[in-house]
Structure formats: structure tokens, C-alpha cells
Structure 1
Amino acid sequence: MNTRPVVLVFLLIVLVITSQFEWKQQIGEAAAADPAAARRRQQLLAREDAVKEKIILSQEKNIQQLNQLIESLQRQLLHCRGSNNTVHAATAAAATEVSEVKGHEIIEDENRR
């Protein structure tokens, strides 16, 4: 008695599984048989590819602009470093001159005494 319901359930499962395969196969054949749908699908894929390419080109352009900005900032940094070194050298030279003048003044003061 228990085997009959088990066999019926098993057959029902087999029937459902096979009908699913047939249904998917029919949908695939119907889609392949409809040239208008295939054309629309190709147009959508072409549009997607065009959008992706535009995005990539835009990103490449942004990367180039960023690289140019980086180069510009590096040049400005080098210029500032050069100016800073010049200021430090001038300051050091002026400090040296001031110390030499003070040294001469001290020597002159000692000589006067």
C-alpha cells in the first residue's frame, strides 16, 4: 500500500521535470525563430557596447587630465623648492655678512680700546 503513493509521487516528479525541459526548449526555439526579437536583442547589445565604450573613453580622458594635473603640480613643487632654496641661500648669505660685519665691529671696538 505504501509503494503505490511513492510511485505516483515519483512519476509526478518525473513528469514535472520533463515538462520543464520541454517548455524551456520550446521557448528557446520560439526566440530563435523570431527574427524581429533577435534583431532587437542585437540592437540592445550594440547599444550596451556603445555605452560601455563611451564610459571607457570618458574614464581615459579623466585619467589623462589627472596625469596632466599631476605633472603640473610636480613642476610647481620643483619651482617652489628651487625658490625656497634660493631664499635660504640668500638668507644664509645675508646672515653671514651680518655676522662678519658684527665681527669686524667687535674687532674695531677692541682695537679702539
Structure 2
Amino acid sequence: MSRPIVLVFLLVVLIITSQFEWKQQLVNDMEASPSTQKQNHLLNRDEVVKEKIILSQEKNIQRLNTLVQSLRHQLSQCRGINTNANFSGNSLISNANETERQQIVLQG
């Protein structure tokens, strides 16, 4: 009779310890869940901050591109003015040379 009692006692001990382990696993899972949620929230905040930084940089790049286009336009205008000034200066010099030639021809 002692053998079946020992077997029943072992069975009861096994059931109690297994339920204790299950409860411990549930508690660990529940404790890990808020921590995981906090980590996810922090990761989401980091992603939002990174996106804001990227958007800010894109705006700065667009502004710089606009400034570069404006400067290129101004440069082309300056080149055009320079070309006209050089052309006018060359015409004046050639006109002065032509006038001097005509005076030399008339005197000679």
C-alpha cells in the first residue's frame, strides 16, 4: 500500500511544481511585455526623429539648389554683360583705328 501512496504523492508534487513553472513563465512574459512595449515606443520615437532630420535636410538641399540656380542665372547675366562690354570695347578700338587710318590717308 505504501507504493501507490508514494506514486500519488509524487504525482501531486509533479503537478504542483509544473503549475508553479507555468505561472512563473506567465509572470515573466507579462513583465517582458511592458519592457518590449517601451523599447518599441523608443524605437518609434527614434524613427520619427530620424525622419524629421531627413526632411529638414531635404528642405535645406532644396533651398541650396534654388540658390545655386539663382547664382548660375546671375553668372550667365554677368557673362552676357561682359561679352557685350568686350564687344563694345573692341568696336570702339576698331573704330578709333579706322579713324586714325583715314586721317593718315588724308594727310599723306
Structure 2 equivalent of residue 93 of structure 1: 84
TM-score where L is the length of structure 2: 0.73
Deviations 1:31-59 (A, max 9, x none): x4135433221100100000000010011
| One-letter amino acid of the structure 1 residue matched with residue 33 of structure 2 | Q
Structure-to-structure mapping, 1:27-66, within 5 angstroms = 30=21, 32-34=22-24, 35-66=26-57
Q: Separation in 1 of the partners of 2:65 and 2:100?
A: 52
Select the structure of larger CA radius of gyration: 2
Structure 1 equivalent of residue 62 of structure 2: 71
Unaligned runs of at least 5 residues, structure 2: 1-17
Q: What is the root-mean-square deviation of aligned Cα atoms in Å?
A: 1.5
Q: Separation in 2 of the partners of 1:84 and 1:40?
A: 66
Q: Separation in 1 of the partners of 2:31 and 2:48?
A: 26
Total equivalences in the alignment: 85
Q: Separation in 2 of the partners of 1:90 and 1:48?
A: 63
TM-score where L is the length of structure 1: 0.70
Moved over 2 A (4+): 34-39
Q: Separation in 1 of the partners of 2:87 and 2:30?
A: 85
